[in-house]
Amino acid sequence: MLHSVTLPVIDGLAVFEFGLLSEVFGLDRSVYSDVPAFDFRVCGLEAGRPVTTQVGAQVIPAHGLEAMEHADVIAVPALAVRSEEEYPVELLDALRRAADRGAILLSACSGAFLLGAAGLLDGRPCTTHWRYAEELQRRYPSARIDPDVLFVDDGNLITSAGTAAGIDASLHLVRRELGSGIANVIARNMVVPPQRDGGQRQYISRPVPEAECDALVDVLAHMNARLAEPHSVASLAQRAHMSTRTFARRFVAETGVTPMQWLTAQRVLQAQLALETTDASIEDIAATCGFGSATLFRHHFTREVGVAPSAYRRSFTRGVREVALVS
């Protein structure tokens, strides 16, 4: 469920993360698309009480903390990291109440420290900006912090890494709850790539990289343009004018995955789009995405995404095709 989003702000607010959350959830796009307008509210300790930011400006919230009581999503922007006792008790209590009633908690960057102070990271997988990861782990030793990911989705808790990763996490949440069509419309109007997501609990290690090596740039483009064709490490190495061993080593060094892992992930992404926006059969999608057989397709898709292709299609096709037409 994603109808209402409340964004709590306190002194030390980071304006970029505040802006990106407001951009994703606060703009009414229903005037030019089928994207529903969210009930978006900015709240503070008191309505109308100015909040300082890290750049010398102020934000004046229109609502008090009561706006958090019924929101579907509480989106916590980045804040100046402070000692645990310096976070307002009334805000920590409001966050705990939101978690207890099942609201989705979304944090951007150092906003994770506020969730940690409320006791909401204990035993949970999460992330924050790599620069703060060690400190977050020191403060909350039971939290399972991964400093190498863009974001972590653990159901009703979504935490993102630094700065622009908050966009990835926010679009992922939109896609998870409302489908890819709506997320794509928002992303396109923000002029950012739509987030590539997986199942209910998703870790995204890195965005698709831009390789520094020109030969690998060519190979990545070649593979991506010909996903349906068979590829081998040997044939790709030949295209890169490298030995097989050197190519495999360079590929992992620059992308973090093996050539076949990268290729499988791209094929799964193409299959996701086909499942969401077409009526093509599982067999046809398997063939056009390069899996060879429906059985192999189901295996790789379920392993990557966490659900079978048919279940994914049921979850994400409702309303997607109509929205995709305006994107």
Q: What is the mean pLDDT of residues 61-88?
A: 97
Which are the contacts of 198, defined by CB distance < 8 A and separation ≥ 6? 204, 304, 305, 306
pLDDT, greater one: 224 or 14: 14
pLDDT at 152 over 50: yes
The 8-class DSSP code of residue 141 comes to T
Q: Averaged over 235-247, what is the pLDDT?
A: 93
Q: In whole angstroms, what is the distance from residue 207 CA to residue 25 CA?
A: 22
Strands 144-145 and 201-203: unpaired
The dihedral built from the CA positions of residue 283, 289, 292 and 297, taken in this order, carries a sign that is negative
- 62 and 171 together in one domain: yes
Is there a single domain that holds both residue 31 and residue 77?
yes
122 and 214 belong to one structural domain: no
Q: 73: how many CB neighbours lie within 10 A of its CB?
A: 26
**How many domains would you assign to the chain?**
2
Q: Report the chain's mean pLDDT, rounded to a whole number.
A: 88
Choose among 290, 20, 36: nearest CA to 181: 36
- Do residue 185 and residue 251 come from a single domain? no
245 and 282 within one domain: yes
Look at residue 312 and tell me whether its pLDDT is greater than 90.
no
Exposure string over 240-273, b if 16+ CB within 10 A, otherwise e: bebeeeebbebbeebbebebeebbbbbbbbbbbb
CB 21, CB 170: distance < 8 Å:
yes
Tell me the C-alpha distance between 148 and 150, whole Å.
7
Decide if pLDDT at 67 tops 80.
yes
Q: Which of 8, 17, 97, 92 is nearest to 49 (CA)?
A: 8
Which residue segment(s) compose the domain that 55 sits in? Answer: 4-203
Domain stop point among 175, 203, 231: 203
Whether residues 194 and 324 share a domain: the answer is: no
Pairing relationship of beta strands 157-160 and 151-154 according to DSSP bridges: antiparallel
- Beta-strand relationship, 151-154 and 201-203: antiparallel
CATH of the domain at 236: 1.10.10.60
Indicate whether 185 and 310 sit together in one domain.
no
Nearest to 74 by CA among 170, 199, 161, 178: 170
One domain, residues 186 and 313: no
122 and 32 both lie in a single domain: yes
CB count, 10 Å around CB of 37?
13
CATH number at residue 26: 3.40.50.880
Task: State pLDDT tens for residues 212-221.
Answer: 577 788 888 8
pLDDT digits (tens, 9 = 90+) for 42-53: 999 999 999 999
**Catalytic positions, written as ranges:** 109
pLDDT at residue 211, as a whole number: 55
The predicted-structure confidence for 260-311, as pLDDT tens digits, reads as follows 999 998 899 889 888 888 889 999 999 999 998 999 999 999 988 878 899 8
Backbone angles phi, psi at 42, to 5 degrees: -105, 125
Same domain, 239 and 164: no
Distance CA 263, CA 296 (A): 14
Same domain? For 63 and 112 the reply is yes
d(C-alpha 180, C-alpha 39), whole Å: 20
Q: Contact at 8 Å (CB) between 113 and 119? A: no
* Co-location of 13 and 142 in the same domain: yes
- Retrieve residue 124's tokens: 């949970």
Q: How many other CB atoms are found less than 10 A from the CB of residue 318? A: 13
Q: In the sheet where 157-160 sits, what is the strand order?
A: 39-43, 4-8, 73-76, 104-107, 157-160, 151-154, 201-203
Taking the C-alpha atoms of residue 116 and residue 262, their distance in angstroms, rounded to an integer, is 34
